[in-house]
């Protein structure tokens, strides 16, 4: 080979002040691996992204493949962007280093980097017609899929007597089973047949071979559970039929259809193999069986497919991922062996952790050690042994700090004086939440990293919880100590005080039966309706309910006594009383209930103001959700309330409200129904999912402590990580999913990863043994779940770079007995007691000190109701408010001269004016400006039109306001990509602007789409769409993208640029055609064909006009544009 991995490191090293970063021996083996399948087991923080990028550079530098023959696939758009950027930067450095006689050419295409779903989308778009998938199929968002499933469940007319679940549970079951069928490439009919066969076999069994007694209720309950599962398969079929009728797909369909194409369409396999010689599959431990089938059918022909992953980080089993995927890769992608046989692909390891300190690695290796012990239910020999993580050279020691406390949150627990985490003599927190807050305050003052100028960087800190129910006590304690908190994920967000208040109002507006939400408003800190008024209002609501029933002729059924409003309250009338209705129609003055209760004058006045506010807000219910949310926020003064938080900046104070607005925007962009009731129902479904809906892309923050679940933390890192709640039953979780419980899972025997899972042996001689076998299966399922919990702990621990804090509490919430600490925490305690470097025990509650009674229950809780929101601050704040009001009155009454004296000095404004004038004078001096090394094609066009304006923009850049024309162009180009089915980097339904159907009409996109469909271009097949080009013009690299490339009948090339604006005038056509001239020159160079064999044209879609300039500039004319700009710039 021309270059080794070490030689490339030297070639690409450009900073003489720093040493060359040579790859490790393990990294070098991966970088220099032969062109054959390879499995790379990459531990947490082991530099896999850099290694993959370096492998691409090594392959290109040694001319083993061209860049465009390389495909990289990962899970998130963020990860795909990072990998793509890293590859492009490394390739650019390679080209610069080789520039000259060694340069392979100046016109190069980039590798393709995509997400797994985007790649599947491309396969379906390119070849879906061959299996009956229409090109105009629409991708369902999460909210849309949920709403469609709701309509299917509500329309169900089959057998339902065995149903015990709520409607929302059945909706989740339909979506869950549909997803599992897709992930494991099976169908509802196959699942239904297996379940019915099982049910019929058990129904014919006696309870015991030695007894004639009838089967027990437990047998009947389990059979009903299976019958419900059969009904769910019918609902899944109806869900699929509804999608088909609407030409819609969900994400599960996308991957399943792509796998089917790979299995059934040989031409698809041939075409994809022709495009890609090297395939990099990132995060392979999180792939599903369908994704394994897709890639193995496409690329398992001995070519260089590299799968990178870590079985210890496989934590998405509930989404179809399997920790055994990496082991399965070796046999799914075999290599040639002597004698023409096949052998499992080789394995390389990346085990040097570049993120974590030494002590944290010791914790991670300890918690993951048990995962290398094969599970007893495995029906195939484990093919992978994962080495422990090793520290990088010069890694700091770091810290692991552990604690066991009496209670999870301060509820009547006293503090004791002792040595605490912040030093001797400081009150030691005796609750877990206080310990977390104290640790955060302590470590936030420390210095772990500095910026390039040597200034201290504020540490990044995260609190990772196993479940969202842990968020609230920790959030309260952090905010009580003035620590800004960012709650990540919708589920946790819904429990924050400002969002709880917001939702109460929204629910009252959207559903008149939400008396619970109305009660929250009434008894809350703003309206403070007292108990007496609440009881009177309850009487009035029941009276209204009875009056409503009487109006429809049902008063006889209620058994009311004429003239006695409260004599007898029938259950249905009592239940139908609505506080929402009662507030909207307050009783007349002087009203008194049959129980002698009436509203106080103060209560009536407050209720009247609440009624008026709600009536005004109802006027907005028909508007878009964003408008409703904004009006509610302003009406209930939430914006002022959060802004008034002491010691908190406005951006931190509004963090939860802004995050809720983002959730609203996400819903409106993917839902079919975007009204308030649909949104509230969707929120309840999202909140019911413990793992929540997908979290938006997240970055570690230095501005706030981030509070999130461990699942949401995957792929991130922080300086300091705190993991509270390490109790048995919490972390590890006490619940274990198995297919025989719940309503959504398919039998594990039908899963693609069945050999890796425990199985229920349901072939038994009698019903008693059948039940016993299910219990044995449940035990194995619990052991299987514990392994995933252990992997989850490994992920949590390895998020920390410098400090890891792990805590537990004996008591919490309504526990009636103390909870043991997690085995994971005991593992760390053992290391600390053995003297492991870097381990510190903050406090460990001895078993004998746990007590027999929950300390929260032992102390009487006292509260004032209605609560005074100002509390002890009321006198001081009332005095301050009075002073402000008095000053305002004095100012209003003062004369002009006195008001002038109150005016602020103008000195600062004068200085601003002077600076602005000086800046303008400096601009007029025409400071020299040089063109950058790389410019865009549009910049080249602008240089041809007005070089002085371009140079002025380069001299002092001014942001340009995006307009609707740019929005229109972006949206239409994305639609074109979808139409031709080649948008490899775009998920269906995710092209820019696709979510905003309400603006499509304003932009005229529907009209342009119709014009395009009727044009000759719609019937032609492009040779390329959105093709990136890069070529040198006059010493400057110019980059752009050709919208579409077509092959002419005579073998020539036709380059088309779609335009959504109006055609230019005759006078401006020459200037605009510079763009086509550049594309023509770049394409001729790229394909090494004569310039005359390449044509180019603009197609103005709105006018259905083709403009084909016949006097396009050549290389010399384009270079003159650059030369003129260089001369003008001085």
Annotated binding site for ATP: 42-49
* Residues 77/78/79/81 CA torsion (nearest 10 deg): 80
Token readout for 436 is 């977390």
φ, ψ of residue 444 in degrees (nearest 5): -70, -20
Q: State the helix-helix crossing angle for 266-275 and 251-264, rounded to 10 degrees.
A: 100
For the annotated binding site, the residues are 42-49
Question: Are 1079 and 1033 in contact, with CB atoms under 8 Å apart?
Answer: no
Q: State the helix-helix crossing angle for 77-98 and 48-61, rounded to 10 degrees.
A: 40
Tokens 């990294």 belong to: 27
Q: 934 forms bridges with which residues in the sheet?
A: 1037
Q: 417 forms bridges with which residues in the sheet?
A: 427
Task: Give CA–CA dist 620/373, Å, rounded.
Answer: 60
Question: Are 42 and 310 in contact, with CB atoms under 8 Å apart?
Answer: yes
Q: No. of H helices and E strands in the chain? A: 43, 27
Cα-based distances in Å from 327 to 291, 346, 478, 1067: 15, 11, 43, 66
Tokens 């001269």 belong to: 897
- Residue 996: name the closest of 676, 670, 673 by CA: 670
What is the helix (H) or strand (E) element at residue 745, kind and residue range? none
Token readout for 32 is 């220099």
Beta-sheet pairing, 1094-1100 with 1105-1107: antiparallel
Q: 407 forms bridges with which residues in the sheet?
A: 431, 811
Question: Are 769 and 363 in contact, with CB atoms under 8 Å apart?
Answer: no
Question: Are 931 and 1122 in contact, with CB atoms under 8 Å apart?
Answer: yes
Question: Are 568 and 561 in contact, with CB atoms under 8 Å apart?
Answer: yes
- Residue 208: name the closest of 776, 767, 764, 763 by CA: 767
In the chain the first and final C-alpha atoms are separated, in Å, by 46
Task: Give CA–CA dist 745/238, Å, rounded.
Answer: 17
Region at 166 (left for phi over 0; alpha for psi -120 to 50; beta for the rest) = beta
Question: Are 173 and 181 in contact, with CB atoms under 8 Å apart?
Answer: no
Task: Give CA–CA dist 747/188, Å, rounded.
Answer: 11
Stated length of the chain: 1130
Q: 391 forms bridges with which residues in the sheet?
A: 353
Q: State the helix-helix crossing angle for 48-61 and 5-12, rounded to 10 degrees.
A: 90
- Residue 158: name the closest of 243, 240, 236, 234 by CA: 234
């Amino acid at each position: 080979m021309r270059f080794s991995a070490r030689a490339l490191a030297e070639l690409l090293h450009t900073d003489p002040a720093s040493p060359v970063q040579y790859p490790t021996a393990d990294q070098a083996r991966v970088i220099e691996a032969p062109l054959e399948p390879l499995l790379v087991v990459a531990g947490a923080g082991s530099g896999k992204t850099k290694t993959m990028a370096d492998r691409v550079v090594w392959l290109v530098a040694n001319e083993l493949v061209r860049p465009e023959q390389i495909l990289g696939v990962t899970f998130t758009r963020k990860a795909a962007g990072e990998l793509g950027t890293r590859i492009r930067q490394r390739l650019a450095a390679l080209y610069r280093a080789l520039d000259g006689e060694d340069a392979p050419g100046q016109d190069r295409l980039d590798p393709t980097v995509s997400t797994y779903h985007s790649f599947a989308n491309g396969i379906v778009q390119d070849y879906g017609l061959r299996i009956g998938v229409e090109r105009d199929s629409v991708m369902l968002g999460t909210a849309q899929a949920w709403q469609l499933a709701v309509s299917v469940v509500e329309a169900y007319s089959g057998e339902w007597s065995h149903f015990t679940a709520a409607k929302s549970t059945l909706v989740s079951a339909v979506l869950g089973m549909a997803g599992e069928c897709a992930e494991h490439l099976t169908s509802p009919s196959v699942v239904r047949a297996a379940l019915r066969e099982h049910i019929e076999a058990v129904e014919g069994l006696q309870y015991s071979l030695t007894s004639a007694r009838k089967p027990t209720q437990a047998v009947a309950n389990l059979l009903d559970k299976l019958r419900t599962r059969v009904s769910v398969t019918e609902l899944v079929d109806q869900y699929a039929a509804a999608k088909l009728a609407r030409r819609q797909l969900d994400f599960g369909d996308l991957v399943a259809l792509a796998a089917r194409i790979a299995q059934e369409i040989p031409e698809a396999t041939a075409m994809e193999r022709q495009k890609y010689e090297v395939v990099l599959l990132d995060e392979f431990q999180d792939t599903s069986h369908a994704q394994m089938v897709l890639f193995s059918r496409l690329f398992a022909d001995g070519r260089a497919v590299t799968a990178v992953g870590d079985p210890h980080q496989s934590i998405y089993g509930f989404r179809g991922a399997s920790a055994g995927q990496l082991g399965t890769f070796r046999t799914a992608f075999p290599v040639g062996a002597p004698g023409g046989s096949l052998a499992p692909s080789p394995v390389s390891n990346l085990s040097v952790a570049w993120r974590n300190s030494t002590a944290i690695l010791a914790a991670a290796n300890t918690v993951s050690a048990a995962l290398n012990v094969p599970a007893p239910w495995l029906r195939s020999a484990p093919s992978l042994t994962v080495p422990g993580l090793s520290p990088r050279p010069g890694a700091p020691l770091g810290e692991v700090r552990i604690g066991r406390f009496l209670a999870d949150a301060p509820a009547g627990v006293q503090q004791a004086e002792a040595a605490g985490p912040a030093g001797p003599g400081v009150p030691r927190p005796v609750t877990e939440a206080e310990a977390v807050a104290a640790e955060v305050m302590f470590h936030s003052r420390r210095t772990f990293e500095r910026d390039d100028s040597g200034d201290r960087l504020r540490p990044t800190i995260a609190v990772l919880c196993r479940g969202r129910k842990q968020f609230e006590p920790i959030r309260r304690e952090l905010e009580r100590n003035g620590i800004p908190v960012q709650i990540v994920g919708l589920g946790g967000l819904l429990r924050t005080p400002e969002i709880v208040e917001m939702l109460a109002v929204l629910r009252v507006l959207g559903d008149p039966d939400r008396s619970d939400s109305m009660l929250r408003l009434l008894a809350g800190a703003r309206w403070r309706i007292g108990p007496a008024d609440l009881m009177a209002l309850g009487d009035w609501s029941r009276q209204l309910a009875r009056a409503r029933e009487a109006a429809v002729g049902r008063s006889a059924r209620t058994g009311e006594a004429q003239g006695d409003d409260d004599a007898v309250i029938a259950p249905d009338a009592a239940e139908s009383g609505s506080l929402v209705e009662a507030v909207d129609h307050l009783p007349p003055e002087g009203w008194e209930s049959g129980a002698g209760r009436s509203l106080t004058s103060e209560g009536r006045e407050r209720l009247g103001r609440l009624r008026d506010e709600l009536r005004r807000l109802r006027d907005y219910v028909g508007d878009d959700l964003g408008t409703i949310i904004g009006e509610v926020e302003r009406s209930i003064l939430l914006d002022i309330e959060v802004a008034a938080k002491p010691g908190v900046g406005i951006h931190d104070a509004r963090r939860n409200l802004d995050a809720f607005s983002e959730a609203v925007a996400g819903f409106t962009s993917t839902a079919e129904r975007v009204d308030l009731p649909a949104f509230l129902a969707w929120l309840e479904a999202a909140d019911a999912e413990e793992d929540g809906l997908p979290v938006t892309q997240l970055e570690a923050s230095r501005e706030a402590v981030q509070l999130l679940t461990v699942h949401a933390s995957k792929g991130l890192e922080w300086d300091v990580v705190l993991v509270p709640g390490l109790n048995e039953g919490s972390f590890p979780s006490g619940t274990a999913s198995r297919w025989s419980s719940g309503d959504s899972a398919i039998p594990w025997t039908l899963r693609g990863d069945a050999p890796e899972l425990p199985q229920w042996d349901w072939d038994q001689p009698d019903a008693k043994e059948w039940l016993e076998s299910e219990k044995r299966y449940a035990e194995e399922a619990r052991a299987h779940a514990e392994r995933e919990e252990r992997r989850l702990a490994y992920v949590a621990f390895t998020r920390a770079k410098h400090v890891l804090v792990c805590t537990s509490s004996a008591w919490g919430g309504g526990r009636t007995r103390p909870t043991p600490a997690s085995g994971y925490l005991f593992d760390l305690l053992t290391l600390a007691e053995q003297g492991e470097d870097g381990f510190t025990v903050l406090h460990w509650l001895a078993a004998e000190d746990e007590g027999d009674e929950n300390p929260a229950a032992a102390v009487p809780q006292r509260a004032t109701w209605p609560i005074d929101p100002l509390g002890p601050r009321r006198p001081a704040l009332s005095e301050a408010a009075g002073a402000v009001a008095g000053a305002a009155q004095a100012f209003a009454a003062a004369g002009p001269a006195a008001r002038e004296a109150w005016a602020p000095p103008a000195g600062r404004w004068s200085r601003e004016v002077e600076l602005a004038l000086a800046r303008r004078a400096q601009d007029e001096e025409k400071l020299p400006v040089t063109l950058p090394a790389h410019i865009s094609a549009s910049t080249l066009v602008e240089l041809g039109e007005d070089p002085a304006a371009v140079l002025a923009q380069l001299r002092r850049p001014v942001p340009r306001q995006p307009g609707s024309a740019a929005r229109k162009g972006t949206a239409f180009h994305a639609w074109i990509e979808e139409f031709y089915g080649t948008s490899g980097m775009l998920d269906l339904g995710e092209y820019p602007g696709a979510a905003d159907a309400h603006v499509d009409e304003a932009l005229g996109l529907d009209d342009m789409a119709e014009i395009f469909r009727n044009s000759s271009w719609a019937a032609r097949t492009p040779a390329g769409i959105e093709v990136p080009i890069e070529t040198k013009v006059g010493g400057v690299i110019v980059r752009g993208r050709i919208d579409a490339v077509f092959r002419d009948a005579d073998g020539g090339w036709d380059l088309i640029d779609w335009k959504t604006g109006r055609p230019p005038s005759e006078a401006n056509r020459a200037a605009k055609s510079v763009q086509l001239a550049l594309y023509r020159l770049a394409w001729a160079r790229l394909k090494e064909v004569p310039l005359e064999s390449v044509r180019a044209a603009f197609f103005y879609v709105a006018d259905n006009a083709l403009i084909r300039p016949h006097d396009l500039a050549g290389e010399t004319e384009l270079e003159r544009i650059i030369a003129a700009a260089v001369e003008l710039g001085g």
